[in-house]
Every structure is written in structure tokens, then in C-alpha cells.
Amino acid sequence: MLVMLSEFLLLGQDVIVKKNGEEIKAKVEEVQNYDVKYHRFDNLTGPLYTISKAELASIKYENGMVDSFANIPAPVTKPSAYTPPVVREKDLRRARTGMVLDYVIYAPVAASIVVGIVAGTSSGDDGRYMMAYTLIPNLAITTVFIPISASQGSWPRKYTGVEGNTGLRTAGWIIYGTYMAGGLATGFLTGGNVVENPLPLYLSVLVLDAAAATCFALDNGKTYKQMKELQNSAYIQPTINILNDRMGHNYMAVGIRVNF
């Protein structure tokens, strides 16, 4: 009776045989070009499963018919054509503006150096106060301009994917932080008569100021150059397409697309 019952159950189900020898007892619902959809025989009202024909050796149907899939290849996936990011003119202007702002910082730095040298040759507290009060506008200008310059370069890098120069950017922020701390400390030491000759400290701070501006200017310049190169390369783009003939064979065609 058990043998008869098992034969009766086998007659009511399909058997999906995979290439690795695994068998799936199922109820085949649909055989598509590349996939087979089925329900598990032990859960006919459950989810509908999908398996690729490329994984299958055959399907044994409940009526005794057999479909063989030994020579079915895996489906060809059509690759997408490469499309570089669009470089917008306003992004180029941002990078260029950031570079210009960094160079603008050199003007107050140069003026502060002149003031420091003149003040250093003066005697008494007048020279000290001159240096201390000169640092205030210099710090204010740098505090505003360098972050603005950095933001002008960061947005185009984020939008287009260019990298600029990470090393220069990192060095610029480190020098910028050192300059800010050193500038505040030097202003306090100069105004408070703590050191006898504050000119070396004063000039060192201005050198840090110029170095930070230089790092950011070079980074923004690199960003601008990379964006221009990306913009020029956008005129020639590689393309990959899949062509089909009447026999159902797929061929890959590789070429270029030129935009005018």
C-alpha cells in the first residue's frame, strides 16, 4: 500500500532536476525564455519561485514528458553604457572662485608683514599694539575666506566625482587650525608684553596663514583642472550594445559615441 501511495503522489507532481543533481518536487507554472516559475509541491498555495534555466538539467512532468535544458546558456546581461558626469559651468566657476579667494588672502598677509616689520623697529608699546591690532583683521579675513574657499571646491568635487588633491586639502586644514591657534596666542603675547621681541612669532603666524591659503588654492586649482579634463572627455564616450540576429544569437558591439 505504501508503494502504491508513493507512486500515486509522484504522478501528481513535477520534478525539477538541477545540473548539480539536486531535485525539486514542484508544480511548474510557467516556462519562460530564461526562467522557470514553480510552486513547491509541499506548499502549492505558497510563494511562486523562479529559477534560471541555466541551472537546470531537466524537468520531469507529471504526465511523463521530459524537458531537457542541458545546453541552455546563461542569459546575457546587457551592460550599461558609460556616461560621465555632466560638468556644469557654475561648478567650474565655484572651483575658480575658491582659487581666487585663496589668492585674495595674500593681500592682507603682505600688508600685515609690512606693518609687523615697521612695528618691530619701533620702540615701546606702540609697536606691540600695532602688531596685535593688525592680527585682528587678518584673522577675521582668513576665518571667513578659507572656509568659503573650501566650500566652493567641495561642492563641484561632490557633484562631478573628481578628487582634487586630498593631501593638499588635509594639509591646508591642519595649517589653518595651527594658524588660528597661533594667531590668537601671538595676539595675546604681543599685547600683554609677555615676550620681549614678538616679531618672530608674529611673522611665523603670517607664514602659516600664507601656507594654508596656498594649499587650498592649489587644491582648488587641481579640482578645476580635473573638471576641465572631464568636460573635454565627455565628447567621446565608449558604448556597449547587445545585438540579436534572427537565430536568437547575441553579439556584443563595442564602439564610441561622439557628441558635437
**Residue-wise pLDDT tens digits, 170-217:** 999 999 999 999 888 887 777 666 667 778 888 888 999 999 999 998
pLDDT (0 to 100) of residue 15: 92
CA distance 50 to 131: 78
Partnered with residue 31 across adjacent β-strands are 36
Convert the pLDDT of each residue in 101-143 to its tens digit.
888 888 888 888 888 888 877 766 677 778 878 888 888 888 8
CATH number of 2-68: 2.30.30.100
- pLDDT of 5 strictly over 80: no
CA distance 85 to 117: 50
- pLDDT of 247 strictly over 60: no
